[in-house]
Structure 1
């Protein structure tokens, strides 16, 4: 297996300093984008849905669980006994303690899917996940959030009993939530996925292979 070149310590420190300058520039850009995100306008979102949950029927307002902000991840429905690899990978990276830390900042997390509730529950049990979930089956929620038949993160804000959509993202926008990916981006061989720009000889495989 190929490895990074070995160089004297001063050469390594200079190369690291050069990269650090670019990292800081990227961080400042991300901070500026986050500032713009906080200034996005919002749109009122009608709460006409009945979600199936382990505790019974719940409205979108109920999913806030008393918090002012709600993050909903739409988990793809691929049919009976079929599960999205990307959605599974993301959910593997949302541990229950993180959900508690979000709650400390007035944010609730909910994973929603068009899969029937029993199918979701069975998969959660199989995977050992304990984060909250709900079924949006037989509702227009996925379409109304623009997730349609895919996956998407949608953020809502509650003002009393009125609900507003403030943000949504999908594809690589959701990728930034995945702790494992963020750490793998720091190690020599990266994520080892075949779309990455890596030196010749680096180990690589299909993203969900």
Structure 2
């Protein structure tokens, strides 16, 4: 990045006019997202089978991951093989916070992966993720049944008694948009500084997981 790789400097009234123009677009996007959220809340749901995962305390079922809550957000962490860990899933999990806030909305959070439980437990300890519940889905068809295809996916579930239903799922940019650090970086002049972004010439940009 050179010293000249910065936005142009303009008088305050010109900046205010440009900011007001952008605000119109931002409000349009916000209203569009509100409409999408309303549509999402009206999705039908599908009954989901029972699965038994492996936790550090022994077997744990999909139903048990809810705890006493009616809703569950369940992230499928990609299995990259022995002694390897998906950088994207790692970056995502580093952003998982305020689970107490979710709990107040009757929503539990957990992470599962087709990694063996010993590999997950070691990584959780290394990364200081003890606040994030996790279990291994290795040996089950859960990942395939969700359509994760060996990748990562966020599923949303609702329970009615002991019956579990899937209400929503998202991956790729749908997951990417949930990250606190990305959301804040998107507001900064240099953005995320990733090489896929549409940025002015000279802006700092690097490989996404470099």
Q: Smaller-chain TM-score range?
A: over 0.9
Report 1:68-87 matches (<5 A): 68-87=70-89
Q: Shift of residue 27 of structure 1?
A: 0.1
Q: Which runs of 5+ in 2 are unaligned?
A: none
Partner of 2:190: 189
Partner Cα distance (2:55, 2:74) in 1: 14
Q: Shift of residue 92 of structure 1?
A: 0.4
Q: Shift of residue 170 of structure 1?
A: 0.3
SS at match of 1:79: coil
Partner of 2:204: 203
- After superposition, give the CA deviation of every residue in 1:84-136 in whole Å (9 maximum; x if it has no partner): 111000000002xx111101100000010000001001111111112111100
So what's the TM-score if we normalise by structure 1? 0.97
Partner Cα distance (2:39, 2:180) in 1: 23
Partner Cα distance (1:113, 1:204) in 2: 31
Question: Which stretches of structure 1, 4 residues or more, deviate above 2 A after TM superposition?
Answer: none
Partner of 1:33: 36
Q: Shift of residue 196 of structure 1?
A: 0.2
| Pair 1:132-2:148 in alignment | no
So what's the TM-score if we normalise by structure 2? 0.97
Number of equivalent positions: 206
Aligned-pair RMSD on alpha carbons?
A: 0.6
